[in-house]
Amino acid sequence: MLANLINGISLGSVYAIIALGYTMVYGIAKMLNFAHGDVIMVGAYVAFCAITGLGWPPILAVLASVAVCTVLGIIIEGLAYKPLRNATSLAVLITAIGVSYFLQNAALLIWTSNTKVFPNIFADLPALQLGSTQVAPVTLITVLANIVIMLALTFFTSKTKMGKAMRAVSEDKGAATLMGINVNRTISMTFAIGSGLAAIAGVLLCTAYPTLMPTTGAMPGIKAFTAAVFGGIGSIPGAMLGGVLLGVIEIFGKAYISTQLSDAIVFAVLIIVLLVKPTGLLGRKVREKV
């Protein structure tokens, strides 16, 4: 029971970190970046290569991974989405799916379809003993990382000039422009942050579940998107809550109901929540503005 809860929170924390990327990008660019899950995969591969190929210490590998994904996020936004700023949301969605396939196939070319075994980067750290339950270091670090990221983002969006500008852009791009805010740069910045977080999520995910292949990011990406919607898309605490709840529901579903059905249960819960509260748990109504 306790072990399942801890596993659920840990998996959920990974979802939450990914969901933060979805939710920030949605909040500001009003688009679903379906390629977000694949950025996780790229992040994991970069860290993998740095550790096993170059022999870098894990911390440096993570930093490299964050750097690569941050730049990747900016490039994806600039090349694929920026030209579509005034296009229909369907066109943007299809493009996002295209970017997702592109990243997966690029990974296939670079790293082949052979499954890589991701190293346990926290192997040196001791496990935590909670009664009769052992908590693996990766679990603890994932949960801590989630909390730190959430606090940092909350601080960033509520206290810094750039963060407040992001909120302004998310509310009303035209009015934000009139304040002198460069909307394109702000959107680009949001992709950078979301993608950098995706890299961290990728490393944590693959440390906990060490199989790495070009499709590794796809399912967690969809789950995290679900988590973002579940918590209320656009809301930072919502992404955290949605992610953690989703992880817990998934692990409990697996443990007590059915391994095969656990994903179905996750999506069923999402549908029920959306029927009762269409804006998600912590979401608020968005007023559409020109």
Partner 1 sequence: METMLQVQDLQVYYGSIHAIKGISFEVKEGEIVTLIGANGAGKSTTLNTVGGLLKARSGKILFEGKDLHGMAADRVVARGMALCPEGRRVFQHMTVLENLEMGAYTRPASEAADSLEKVYALFPRLKERYHQIAGTLSGGEQQMLAMGRALMSRPRLMMLDEPSMGLAPILVKQIFNIIEDMNKQGTTILLVEQNAQMALSVANRAYVLETGRISLSGDASELARSEEIKKAYLGG
Binding site for partner 1 (CB under 8 A): 161, 164-165, 167-168, 171-172, 174-183, 284, 287, 289
Q: CB 81: neighbour CB atoms within 10 A?
A: 22
Q: Least distance to partner 1 from the beta carbon of 178, Å? A: 5
| Sequential DSSP letters for 245-289 | HHHHHHHHIIIII-TTTHHHHHHHHHHHHHHH-TT-SS--PPPP-
Query: Kindly report the CA angle at 218 between 170 and 112, in degrees rounded to 5?
Result: 130
Between 13 and 157, whose beta carbon lies closer to partner 1?
Answer: 157
Using alpha carbons only, give the angle 40, 10, 33 rounded to the nearest 5 degrees. Answer: 30
For residues 277 and 284, which CB has a smaller minimum distance to partner 1 in the complex?
284
**Minimum separation from the CB atom of position 39 to partner 1 (A):** 28
Q: How far is the CB of 29 from partner 1 (least distance, A)?
A: 17
Residue 244 CB, nearest approach to partner 1 (Å) = 24
Least Å from the CB of residue 257 to partner 1: 39
For residue 97, what are its two tokens? 């799916």
26 in Cβ contact with 233 (< 8 Å)? yes
Give the nearer residue to partner 1 in terms of CB position, either 30 or 167: 167
Q: Which is nearer to partner 1, 126 or 180 (CB)?
A: 180
CB-nearer residue toward partner 1: 155 or 256: 155
Give me the helix-helix angle, 183-208 and 58-76, nearest 10°. 140
